[in-house]
Amino acid sequence: MPRYIQLHILTSYPPSNLNRDDTGRPKTAVVGGSERLRISSQSLKRAWRTSDIFESVLKGHIGTRTKEMGVHVYQNLTKQGVSEKNAREWAKTIASQFGKLKSDKKNEGGEDLHVEQLVHFNPEEEQAIAALVNQLVATQEAPTDEDLKLLRKQHSAADIAMFGRMLASSPAFNTEAAVQVAHAVTVHKAAVEDDYFTAVDDLNKGETDQGAAHIGETGFGAGVFYLYLCIDRALLLKNLGGDTELTKQALKALLHAVTKVSPTGKQNSFASRAYAGYVLAEKGDQQPRTLAQAFLKPVNDTDTLNRAVTELNRQRNNFNTVYGDCADAVQEFNVEAGTGSLSEVAEFIVE
């Protein structure tokens, strides 16, 4: 089984603001001396992880990322008749197994039930917590040290297996990510533009024009984005406890998500949902490498997507000429040319 799968994806987005910076404008990056639009890997991974595709294909094998598990436990205990004092104390004890609590004392924000950092709970840990809650309700006795061994190193959470997790207070239970995701950037120069807009009050129907009830502006940009992913298939299989079938399901779900799911930023304003126009998949045991170098010189062509496909493959061929074949096998689909298919690429990456 080849160890690495590499995905090179080109997606054309119309005017959009999928991933905002601290000022509310689309994120950017300077590449090859020119400004490009950018979508961060964090934004992409969250969109995929929380997508309907992951939920349907990997149902029961998705983790929960939260700071508020202690709140959830507390509410479950009190609803089932445990006293407020015991429920709070026991919930704090349970939450603290996964990280340092934000506060030592009860306050209005309930921060004594929150851990300081987001924790990605796997299904096995959630089941263990639920079982412990049921035990506490039944016995009305505080949990023992043995009861509080809730962390699980081996689990079936496909999203954690793919994207990893870090527990600063319990590093033995960390999971190394099997999927590395680059920031997506446009293959060409791109400018952030501003949309000036007004809103009119529907009840303002006087004889004179009273003007707009609201005036604002929002940034947007459009372009063809290159996205690179590197998947360590052997590590993914290990992270999932050697479950071959679940590993295949995870790979297929990932491929479907990365080619179909867009980040949710400003979707109501721009409806900028897009499917990938081109995918090149490679697999082999060779050291992986991105093909982002193909776009250091920004594409300057009215037929941007097809030109990007040409430049991507030119770069791949040049790497192969200099270094020898950088993969053992390849598979692609091209929407513009009407060649290949998503199902063919999906079967290719799980073989």
**Confidence category of residue 278, pLDDT binned at 50, 70, 90:** very high
Q: Is the pLDDT of residue 170 over 70?
A: yes
Give one DSSP letter per residue of 214-243, joined into a string: EEEEEEEEEEEEEEEEEEEHHHHHHHTTT-
pLDDT value of position 206:
65
pLDDT value of position 212:
77
Q: Is the pLDDT of residue 276 over 90?
A: yes
Give one DSSP letter per residue of 172-225, joined into a string: GG-B--SEEEPPEEESS----EEEEEEE--TT---SS----SEEEEEEEEEEEE
61-73: pLDDT as tens digits: 999 999 999 999 9
Environment class of 139 (CB within 10 Å of its CB; exposed 0-12, middle 13-18, buried 19+): exposed
112-139: pLDDT as tens digits: 999 999 999 999 999 999 999 999 999 9
Amino acid identity of 103? S
Answer whether 164's CB lies under 8 Å from 177's CB: yes
How many Å apart are CA 190 and CA 185, to the nearest integer? 10
> What is the average pLDDT value for the chain, to the nearest integer?
95
Structure tokens at 317: 């061929």
303-328: pLDDT as tens digits: 999 999 999 999 999 999 999 999 99
Which residues partner with 16 through β-bridges?
221
User: Residues of the chain with pLDDT > 70: what percent?
Assistant: 98
Give me the mean pLDDT over the 160-182 stretch. Answer: 96
Answer whether 112's CB lies under 8 Å from 104's CB: yes
User: Residues of the chain with pLDDT > 90: what percent?
Assistant: 88
**Confidence category of residue 207, pLDDT binned at 50, 70, 90:** low
